[in-house]
């Protein structure tokens, strides 16, 4: 008997790729947080039983658990590194004051579901609407260099 929700068939191929990957790259524009469609993707793919386990809810495992065992257990330990590329319409100090929600969600919630030594590379272009062409091209160069060594 399983206690975990069954992923829908349309995301099963994505889950299989995620379970065999050693790295994950996420690219999105920031509007206060990750876009709703990306959040929906996370909700459908990073499910209990896929991205993490909850042994205290598993009947066969719960009998042997102790208090220290309560909580979640990462299930995507095959992923050793994550990179995020995002653009912001605000300068860094405003993003900081607003909480940089997307970055915090990915850095705290998602990376913790992966290998204990998983690294996070964050590439953000801030104040995008006011950046001159050369600054935008420099950012693209930084992303290209980071991905080549990723």
Residue-number span of the structural domain to which 24 is assigned: 19-148
Furthest C-alpha separation in the chain: 61
Distance of alpha carbon 133 from alpha carbon 80, whole angstroms: 34
Domain membership flag for residue 92: yes
Domain membership flag for residue 8: no
Domain membership flag for residue 63: yes
Q: What is the DSSP string of 15-75?
A: HHHHHH-SEEEEEEEEBSBS-HHHHHHHHHHS-BTTTEE-GGG-HHHHTT--GGG-S-EES
Q: What is the pTM of this model?
A: 0.87
96-135 in b/e burial notation, b at 16+ Cβ within 10 A?
Answer: eeeebebbeebeeebbebbbeebeebebbbbbbeeeeeee
Instruction: Copy the structure tokens of residue 109.
Output: 């919630």
Distance of alpha carbon 90 from alpha carbon 7, whole angstroms: 36
DSSP state of 4: S
Contact status, residue 13 vs residue 93, Cβ threshold 8 Å: no
Each residue's pLDDT expressed in tens, for the chain with a length of 150 residues: 567 888 999 999 999 999 999 999 999 999 889 999 999 999 999 999 999 988 777 777 656 666 556 678 899 999 999 999 999 999 999 999 999 999 999 999 999 999 999 999 999 999 999 999 999 999 999 999 999 999
Domain membership flag for residue 7: no
Domain membership flag for residue 123: yes
Q: What is the pLDDT of residue 66?
A: 61
Domain membership flag for residue 10: no
Q: What is the pLDDT of residue 56?
A: 75
Domain membership flag for residue 14: no
Number of domains making up the chain: 1
Return the CATH number at 141: 3.40.50.360
Domain membership flag for residue 96: yes
């Amino acid at each position: 008997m399983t206690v975990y929700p069954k992923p829908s068939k349309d995301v099963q191929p994505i889950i299989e790729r995620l379970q065999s990957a050693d790295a994950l790259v996420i690219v999105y524009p920031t509007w206060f947080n990750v876009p709703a469609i990306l959040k929906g993707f996370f909700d459908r793919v990073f499910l209990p039983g896929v991205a993490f386990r909850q042994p205290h809810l598993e009947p066969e495992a719960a009998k042997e658990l102790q208090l220290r065992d309560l909580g979640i257990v990462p299930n995507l330990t095959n992923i050793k590194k994550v990179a995020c590329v995002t653009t912001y319409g605000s300068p860094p100090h405003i993003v900081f004051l607003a909480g940089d929600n997307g970055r915090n969600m990915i850095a705290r919630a998602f990376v913790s579901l992966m290998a204990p030594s998983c690294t996070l590379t964050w590439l953000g272009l801030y104040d995008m609407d006011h950046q001159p062409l050369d600054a935008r091209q420099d950012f693209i160069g930084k992303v290209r260099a980071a991905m080549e060594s990723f």
